[in-house]
Amino acid sequence: MKPLPRSFYSRETAIVARELLGKMLVRLTDHGDIAAKIVEVEAYKGSDDPASHAYRGKTSRNQLMFGKAGFTYIYFIYGNHYCLNVTTETESIPGAVLIRAVEITRGQEIARRNRRVEALKELSNGPGKLTQALNITKAHNGLDLTETKELFICDPEVKESFNTVVTKRVGIKAGREKPWRFYLKDNEFVSRS
């Protein structure tokens, strides 16, 4: 499993978001490895996107969005869970893709222990659920996904065909009308939102 190169991420955010569907998110741990197919994402840009953390400019919180593409941007939300984002675009042009849901294909028992749930469908069908299932925390903020050994994204071993659904983003108020949410049609692990 070879991590995707920086050139994959160094493109327009919505294109990267759409093309992340079907890729594998891999988390290597001391307790075993977890591999998960990315089934739902949302794109967030900069000054033209009021839902983006980068909308009002660069801050200490969002500075990764203004840096190189291919890094993790992780933040704590609603006081109870982390969200995993992947930086996009080129330096000084902010962009990130929120990984909203994954289908865990390997390491399901590890994920079940991390989440403390039995139902496979409930393991990773939302951004907070997937970070808990893969034990992704603020400690993983700023990891280079093109080099890291503990967290990366790669092509699947066998490429599957699928249909992509494009909708408005969910869980936000400002900028909701932008059609930047992408997910695999009929995949049971897509979030309920």
User: Domain for residue 1, yes or no?
Assistant: no
Contact 132, 115 (CB under 8 A): yes
Domain range for 148 is 6-184
Query: 64-78: per-residue pLDDT in tens?
Result: 888 999 999 999 876
Band of residue 79 on the pLDDT scale cut at 50, 70, 90: low
Q: What is the CATH number of the domain that holds 19?
A: 3.10.300.10
| Residue 136 reports pLDDT greater than 90 | yes
Alpha-carbon distance 102 to 125, whole Å? 6
User: Domain for residue 167, yes or no?
Assistant: yes
Task: Give CA separation, 51 vs 43, 80, 114, 131, 178, in Å.
Answer: 10, 20, 30, 21, 10
User: Domain for residue 30, yes or no?
Assistant: yes
User: Domain for residue 190, yes or no?
Assistant: no
The number of residues in the chain equals 193
Tell me the whole-structure pTM to 2 decimals. 0.94
Burial class (CB in 10 A: 0-12, 13-18, 19+), 96: buried
Confidence (pLDDT) at 178: 82
User: Domain for residue 83, yes or no?
Assistant: yes
Alpha-carbon distance 173 to 50, whole Å? 9
| Better-predicted residue by pLDDT, 4 or 31 | 4
Band of residue 20 on the pLDDT scale cut at 50, 70, 90: very high
2-6, 48-52, 121-125, 133-137: range with lowest mean pLDDT: 48-52
Reported as half-sphere exposure (CB side, CA atoms, 13 A), residue 50 has a value of 7
User: Domain for residue 192, yes or no?
Assistant: no
User: Domain for residue 44, yes or no?
Assistant: yes
Query: 87-128: per-residue pLDDT in tens?
Result: 999 988 999 999 999 999 999 999 999 999 988 889 999 999
Tracing tokens 């000054």 back to the chain, one arrives at 47
Q: How many domains are contained in the chain?
A: 1
User: Domain for residue 105, yes or no?
Assistant: yes
